[in-house]
Amino acid sequence: MNKRMTLILSGLVVLVSALPAFAWVGTEDLGTYDPLDILAPFNQTGVRTLSADTLYTLYGLYYVEAGATLNIPAGTVVQGVPGATFVIKPGATINATGTAHSPVILTSSQPAGSRNPGDWGGVVILGNAPVNKDNPLIEGGIIDGTYGGNDPDDSSGVFKYVRIEFPGYRFQLNNEINGLTMGGVGRGTEIHHVQVSYSFDDSYEWFGGTVNAKYLVAFGGTDDVFDTDFGYQGRVQFALDCRDPYVWDAAGTSNGFECDNDGTGSLTEPRTWPVFSNVTMCGPQAFLPDLVVGHKFGSSALIRLSARTSIFNSVIMGYPYGMEIVNSETQDDAWTDTLRVRNLSLAGSLEKTPGSIHRTDKWADVTTWFDRMTPGYSIDYNNLGTAPRTAADLNLLGGYPLNLNAPNPVPGPGSELVGSADFSDSYLSDPHFDVVSYRGAFDPAAKSMDAQWTAGWTNFDPQNSDYGALSPVAEVPSVQAGLDNYPNPFNPSTTLKFSVPKAGHVTLSVFDVRGRIVANLHDGELEKGVYTRQFDGEGLPSGTYFYRLSGQGFEVTQKMQLVK
């Protein structure tokens, strides 16, 4: 380990060390490093500006307090450790201002080749725009503070040209950080050109608010792509989803859209009523036509519990099912044309209910509603794809199946996506929407992905990206030890397999997300070799647990999921 000088300044640890050829001027730790509490808080007040020539490591819950500003300039890289999360409180400001050729990168602290969904928390932005809950908490109260208010024009700053990689830290089952979580964020906030990659929960989730967004990318997410709740009423245009067919939510169902009003199906105002246009969703079967047995992928769009999410001029391919419209209030809104789906192309939904790719078991009339071309109806929704077909029928330049690490879902000549958009609907009159002639996120006239809005700042292989020196605390020990468990997720027991690279005193412990030890599986001498130990989670709640192997010259930590 390099010798270094450490200086503690108001919650910021400045470390000067010898760095490799991909050199940073220095490295700094953000937040509170507490080995006994990975969620230890740090509260920023005033203005703090990071530097693109410094490699940062984020620890704990980093709160930007009301009245404070966090500036993250173009080219800045921040590595998050388990549990580390940026939380922008109502009244606070974040200005993450990347560029097309120099994005802000918020990523895992693990080295290339060893990263996993949920390696760190992610970004939570909270504001004062309307929500339909009274003083709601984000993530079950683990993150401090409420959000929401009565200012639809509230601003939380600027968040542009930003990559968020391997976020989604899971505190407990169904209690996770998303890649980008927005609670009561107002439309005075500028959000565009954001990529969330390999989130362990949803890629993007809006809890109420009015914030608009453009140019969003979701890549390899575990749960849903776009999750809207608690009265979100923003506008989103130009978005891409690329699903890794080997990554899904083992504890639930992984959908494209998942939309609720308030979680109970009530009619509480403001209703969840966002409008999406020009979305290209490439579901798992767009990359792997024959999915793995036991997968948990679901519908292109699950709209339920009184939500009115509306989708226009888009293409969704490769999810097992098409539309899933659930509960009577939502179905009534669809029939009465309050919930609108127009100019939508579906393809590659190969697990169909009888006679339709849609979930007719949830709503018998969903196919008739989606097609809306039955004689007697006055509206032609111009939706396509109720009959089963593959994504090859869309005639994309990237072919079929698509390449996950180099996706090219640009429509080719003769594609039904070319020239078939329509912006005459009143829902699209908002000036946020740019009028274009094509369905989906990509301009067929530009042809190459190198000329599309994703060029220069996105990364479709974040697992193998080298961001240079690891921060000192995150350095990999010089003596390597192996550690794994199977099965994972598990209920209630699992086998921990570990290799000891050097004889000596070895400890193997299991602890919860607050750093509290829940089991000591070994504490004593071991010879060099491979060993196993059983861990029984009976009596423990579902959630994420960590297990740590320590010995002379080595220490390694892994995580596992108890799902009951």
CA distance 556 to 547: 8
Q: What is the mean pLDDT of residues 133-143?
A: 84
Taken in order 131, 132, 133, 138, the sign of the CA dihedral is negative
Q: Which residue has the higher pLDDT, 140 or 265?
A: 265
- On average, the pLDDT of the chain sits at 90
Domains in the chain, CATH or no CATH each: 478-562 (2.60.40.1930)
CB 398 within 8 A of CB 452: no
Question: 15-19, 120-124, 414-418: which range is least confident on average?
Answer: 15-19
329-334 contacts at long range (C-beta below 8 A, 24 or more positions apart):
329/265, 329/267, 329/305, 330/303, 330/304, 330/305, 330/306, 331/363, 331/365, 333/306, 333/308, 334/369
Q: From the centroid of its chain, how far is CA 493?
A: 29
Residue 551 pairs in a beta bridge with 554
Query: pLDDT tens digit string along 488-543?
Result: 888 999 989 888 887 889 999 997 765 678 999 999 999 888 888 999 999 898 88
CA distance 564 to 561: 10
CB 560 within 8 A of CB 488: yes
Residue with tokens 């990975």: 38
**Which are the contacts of 62, defined by CB distance < 8 A and separation ≥ 6?**
30, 31, 41, 42, 44, 84, 85, 86, 87
CB 505 within 8 A of CB 551: yes
Question: 32-46, 106-120, 366-380, 432-446: which range is least confident on average?
Answer: 366-380
Whole-model pTM: value is 0.82
> What pLDDT score does 476 carry?
35
> What pLDDT score does 480 carry?
56
10-19 contacts at long range (C-beta below 8 A, 24 or more positions apart):
11/42, 11/44, 15/471, 15/472, 17/469, 17/472, 19/468, 19/469
Query: pLDDT tens digit string along 66-92?
Result: 999 999 999 999 999 999 999 999 999
pLDDT band at 274 (very low <50, low <70, confident <90, very high): very high
> What pLDDT score does 553 carry?
64
Q: From the centroid of its chain, how far is CA 75?
A: 21
Q: How many CB atoms lie within 10 A of CB 77?
A: 21
Query: pLDDT tens digit string along 280-322?
Result: 999 999 999 999 999 999 999 999 999 999 999 999 999 999 9
pLDDT band at 356 (very low <50, low <70, confident <90, very high): confident
Structure tokens at 437: 């002639």
CB 495 within 8 A of CB 47: no
Query: pLDDT tens digit string along 408-435?
Result: 999 999 999 999 999 999 999 999 999 9
> What pLDDT score does 554 carry?
72
Q: From the centroid of its chain, how far is CA 296?
A: 17
Q: What is the mean pLDDT of residues 13-27?
A: 47
| Amino acid making up residue 135 | N
Classify each residue of 147-168 as buried b or exposed e, where b means 16 or more C-beta atoms within 10 Å of its C-beta: bbbebbebbbbbbbbbbbbbbb
> What pLDDT score does 557 carry?
82
CB 439 within 8 A of CB 417: yes
**Ramachandran angles phi, psi of 299, nearest 5°:** -105, 155
Query: What is Dmax (Cα atoms) for the chain?
Result: 81
